[in-house]
């Protein structure tokens, strides 16, 4: 495997979040290969990857970027950041990146990816992770981070200590992120899910930015209602989320830039496919299975379901 001294990385899905994380790793001197496609890959290859973040901007050029993961070879860590509907296909493409100890960390939305990844590549390769990094592609080859801070929370799914988790923590700290080796990464994954379900839903249904949504009492209340339904589902599954998680997430919403939009709202605006079935749609599905009412998420799913496949 590569990276016997310094770990190596592959970014499977170099969009907003994946592109930003990979760029920061590259900036810190790590060996990073970016996997992308289409106009974004073409722009990255020709002009590099342009990053805008609060207080700074930089360009990575030349860049190791490809549409073919098999060209990269084994790496120590795969940052897995594809859209949720691509999880199985992209996981199959990861096979050539895997050595015996390679960790694949899903930075995706939702609460399903780790199980899906484990079924495809083997659960031993999967490490739980949550990226608190708000970033979008603003045009091919350019990514903008809109969140005021950036953090990565991670851990083995069985909660065991591991050398690869410690090495990952060192890399995350080196790029200036908050690095949190979570005691129970499953709780952390659900806590982010609570936030993403609500903000994505209200962004999309209202067509408004986070700044507008959080200031209006009605839409702020809507955020709370959506989060509470996620909390009830989590509790039924043995995940101890509480009203404190909701309060903390609403406080986090207040720190985002005025013009922030979640990635699903950006996709809706651009006529792209939506992750709705894995967000409010997943809450509705789990609610039916558990006999827990989820009327607010049901409404969001009904209101947006005709746009799931985009309009291109």
137: CATH: 3.40.50.720
Q: How many domains does the chain have?
A: 2
* The total number of residues written for the chain in this structure: 312
Classify residue 8 by its DSSP letter. E
> Is 89 in the same domain as 191?
no
pLDDT for position 159: 86
At 37 the three-state DSSP class reads: coil
> Is 216 in the same domain as 135?
no
> Which of 150, 183, 216 represents a domain boundary (last residue)?
183
Q: Strand 75-80 to strand 8-12: parallel, antiparallel, or no bridges (unpaired)?
A: parallel
> Is 124 in the same domain as 16?
yes
Distances (CA, A) of 16 to 10, 22, 55, 139, 161: 15, 10, 18, 10, 30
- Match 């995706």 to its residue by tokens: 108
> Which of 127, 148, 183 represents a domain boundary (last residue)?
183
Classify residue 124 by its DSSP letter. G
pTM of the predicted model, to two decimals? 0.88
3 falls within a domain: no
pLDDT along the chain (312 residues), means of 10: 74 95 96 97 97 95 95 97 94 95 94 94 95 92 92 90 92 91 90 96 97 97 98 97 97 93 93 96 97 98 96 66
pLDDT for position 3: 44
249 falls within a domain: yes
Distances (CA, A) of 59 to 100, 127, 303: 33, 30, 40
Measured distance CA(117)–CA(43) in Å, rounded: 29
The answer to whether 41 touches 65, Cβ cutoff 8 Å, is: yes
Boundaries of domain holding 156: 8-183
- Match 């992308």 to its residue by tokens: 36
């Amino acid at each position: 495997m590569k990276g016997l001294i310094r770990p190596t990385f592959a970014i499977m899905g170099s969009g907003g979040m994946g592109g930003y994380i990979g760029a920061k790793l590259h900036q810190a001197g790590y060996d990073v290969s970016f996997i992308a496609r289409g106009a974004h890959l073409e722009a990255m290859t020709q002009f590099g990857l342009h990053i805008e973040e609060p207080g700074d901007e930089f360009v990575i050029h030349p860049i190791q970027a490809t549409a073919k993961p098999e060209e990269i070879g084994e790496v120590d860590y795969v940052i897995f950041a594809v859209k949720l509907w691509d999880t199985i296909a992209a996981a199959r493409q990861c096979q050539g990146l895997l050595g015996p100890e390679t960790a694949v960390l899903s930075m995706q939305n939702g609460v399903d990816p780790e199980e899906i990844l484990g079924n495809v590549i083997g659960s031993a390769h999967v490490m739980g992770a949550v990226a608190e990094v708000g970033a979008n592609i603003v045009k091919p080859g350019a990514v903008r981070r809109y969140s005021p801070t950036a953090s990565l929370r991670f851990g083995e799914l069985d909660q065991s200590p591991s050398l690869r988790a410690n090495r990952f923590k060192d890399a995350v700290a080196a790029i200036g992120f908050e690095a949190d080796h979570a005691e129970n990464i499953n709780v952390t994954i659900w806590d982010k899910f609570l936030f993403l379900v609500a903000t994505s839903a209200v962004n999309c249904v209202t067509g408004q930015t986070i700044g507008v949504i959080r200031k209006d009492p009605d839409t702020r209340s809507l955020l709370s209602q959506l989060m509470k339904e996620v909390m009830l589902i989590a509790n039924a599954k043995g995940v101890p989320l509480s009203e404190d998680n909701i309060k903390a997430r609403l406080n986090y919403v207040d720190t985002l830039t005025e013009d922030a939009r979640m990635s699903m709202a950006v996709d809706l605006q651009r006529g792209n496919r939506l992750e709705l079935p894995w967000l409010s749609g997943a809450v509705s599905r789990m609610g039916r299975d558990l006999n827990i009412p989820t009327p607010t998420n049901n409404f969001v799913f009904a209101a947006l379901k005709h746009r799931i496949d985009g309009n291109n």
